[in-house]
Amino acid sequence: MSEHYEIRWFKESDLGSYVEGLNKTLYYDYSESMFRWKFERNPFSLGFPSIAVAEHTPSGEPVAFNSFLPLEVREGDDVFMVLQGCDGFVDEVHRRQGLFQRTLHFMAEEMKGFSPEILIGFNLVEAAAAAQKAGSAFAHDIDRCFIGRKVFAGFRDRKGVALDPISVEALSGLYEEWATGCGLLHIRRTLPYIRWYNENPLRRIQTYMVYRDGSPEGYLVVDEITEGGGLELTVEDYPPGLLDGGLLRGVLSCLHEAHPEVDVVNIYAVRGESLGNGLAGLGFTVAPWFKVIMKALNNAVQERGSVMRNGEELSDLRRWHITAGDIY
C-alpha cells in the first residue's frame, strides 16, 4: 500500500542501500567516491544531496531513490539553474506502488521558491512513461550512434585533420568564445564545472583541439570507460556545428590513431538533426536511446505540453546544444 512509504530527502545512512541498488540496476561499479563527486563536489550543489528517497515505514528501509543533479543553463548572458534527473531505482519488491511519481511530486513541492526553474531528464526509452505520468512534458528523442572495433579500424584517412591535447583552462576559453554570442540553450561550462567534470572517478577524459589543414576548428572532449568487459569511447563535448560538416571522418581517423584499443565508439545525436544522418552514412548503428522530458518548477510554466520560460519554449530541442557530456 502506498501509505506504507514516507518520501524524504537523502540521509548519509542511505548511502549503502543507494550504492548497492545502483549497481544492481544501472551501473557496473558505482561507488561512494562517485556519489561524493557527483553530489558533494558539484560546483552547482544546492548544499545537500538532492536525492528523493522513499522509505518503507514498517521496516525503516530506503527502497526507492530518485536523484536530481543541480546544473546551470546558459543562453548568451542569461543563466538559470535547473535540476537534471539522473540515477534512480525502485527495489523490485516495491515496484508498482507509484513511488517514482511520488518522489517527483515531492521534489517539485520542495523546490517551490528555490533556484531551480525546470527539471530536465534524459530517460531511457523504456522509463519515460513514468515521468510523463508524473506531469513531465516530452521534448524530443536522442539516439545513440555507435560502431564496433572493426568499423572503427576502417577510419584511416585524416583528411588534413589533427588532434592536439589541451588543458582545461584552454577548453574554458574556447567555450567562452562560442557561448558568449550563441543563441542556443546549453549546460553552462564554467571553469570550476569543467574541472569537476574532469574529476569523474569512472571515466578517463581527454580534451583535444581540432585542426584542419593547420587551422583551429574547435575543441573535442572524449572519454574512455570499461563496461561489460569492453572499452568504450564516447564523444562527450564539442562546440555547435563542429561535427556537422566535413570534419567527421577525419576526426574519427584521428581518434582511432589515439585510441586504437577501443571496442565501441559512441556519439549521441538529437533525432532529425544532420549529425545522426552523417553518422549513419559512415556505418554507425543508430538506436533510439533517450527521451528528453522537462517539467516546470519555478519561473516557468507548462502550457499544452510545452515548458515555457519568459515567453520562450524551453522544450523545443532545436533551441538547445546537447552533447553526451550533458547527460548524467
pLDDT tens-digit series, residues 197-224: 999 999 999 999 999 999 999 999 999 9
Residues 252 and 178 in one domain: yes
Q: Do 176 and 206 belong together in one domain?
A: yes
Q: Are residues 69 and 190 in the same domain?
A: no
Which residues pair with residue 122 across a beta bridge? 292
Position 303 confidence tier, pLDDT thresholds 50, 70, 90: confident
Grid cell at residue 189:
561550462
Residues 182, 298: one domain? no
Q: What is the mean pLDDT of residues 251-259?
A: 98
The DSSP H or E segment spanning 198 is: none
Judged against a pLDDT cut of 60, whether residue 116 lies above it is answered with yes
- Considering the domain architecture, whether residues 175 and 136 belong to the same structural domain is answered as no
Query: Sign of dihedral through CA atoms 235, 238, 243, 244?
Result: positive
pLDDT above 90: residue 298: yes
Q: Please list the alpha-helical segments (H only) found in 119-247.
A: 128-133, 149-153, 168-179, 191-197
Per-residue confidence (pLDDT) for residue 111, from 0 to 100: 96
State residue 134's pLDDT score.
58
Q: Which domain covers residue 149, as residue numbers?
A: 144-288
- 49: how many CB neighbours lie within 10 A of its CB? 22
Which range of 123-132, 135-144, 197-206 scores highest in mean pLDDT? It is 197-206
Task: Provide the number of structural domains found in the chain.
Answer: 2
To the nearest whole number, what is the mean pLDDT of the chain? 94
CA atoms within 13 A on the CB side of 324: 21
Q: Are residues 12 and 74 in the same domain?
A: yes
Q: How far is CA 231 from CA 26, 72, 180, 200, in A?
A: 17, 31, 36, 17
Q: Which residues pair with 206 in a beta bridge?
A: 222
No. of H helices and E strands in the chain?
Answer: 9, 16
Q: State residue 140's pLDDT score.
A: 83
Q: Is the same domain home to 123 and 22? A: yes
Bigger pLDDT: 1 or 77? 77
Q: Residue 130 has what pLDDT?
A: 60
Q: Which of residues 304 and 265 earns the better pLDDT score?
A: 265
Q: Report yes or no: 48 and 114 within 8 Å, Cβ to Cβ.
A: no
Considering the domain architecture, whether residues 189 and 179 belong to the same structural domain is answered as yes
pLDDT, position 132: 61
CB atoms within 10 A of CB 24: 12
Q: What is the pLDDT of residues 6-46, one digit of tens each?
A: 999 999 999 999 999 999 999 988 999 999 999 999 999 99
Say what the pLDDT of residue 20 is. Answer: 97
Specify the amino acid at residue 176: E
Residue 134 to residues 2, 8, 80, 251, Cα–Cα distance (Å): 15, 17, 23, 41
**Average confidence (pLDDT) over 228-254:** 94
Q: Tell me the angle at which helices 32-39 and 15-25 cross, rounded to the nearest 10 degrees.
A: 100
The neighbour count for residue 46, using CB atoms within 10 Å, is 17
- pLDDT at position 309 is 95
- Co-location of 302 and 222 in the same domain: no
Identify the residue whose cell numbers are 585524416.
158
> What CATH number has the domain bearing residue 276?
3.40.630.30
For residue 128, pLDDT beyond 60: no
- The pLDDT of residue 156 is above 90: yes
Instruction: Note whether 171 and 284 are same-domain residues.
Output: yes
270-289: buried (b, 16+ CB within 10 Å) or exposed (e) per residue? Answer: bbebebbebbeeeebebeeb
Share of the chain above pLDDT 90, in %: 87
CB of 29 within 8 A of CB of 124? no
Output the pLDDT for position 133: 61
210 plus 170 within the same structural domain: yes
Q: Which of the four pLDDT bands, split at 50, 70 and 90, describes residue 240?
A: very high
User: Do 129 and 173 belong to one domain?
Assistant: no
The pLDDT value recorded for residue 155 is 97
Q: What are the DSSP E strand ranges found in the chain? A: 5-9, 51-56, 61-75, 78-90, 118-124, 137-148, 161-165, 186-187, 204-212, 215-227, 230-237, 264-270, 285-296, 301-303, 306-309, 312-313
Q: 268-290, pLDDT tens digit by residue?
A: 999 989 999 999 999 999 999 99
- Rounded to a whole number, what is the largest CA-CA distance in the chain? 67
Given this model, what pLDDT does residue 38 score? 98
Q: What's residue 126's pLDDT?
A: 62
Q: Which amino acid is at 193?
A: Y
**Beta strand 5-9 with 137-148: parallel, antiparallel or unpaired?**
unpaired
Give the torsion sign (CA, 91, 96, 98, 104): positive
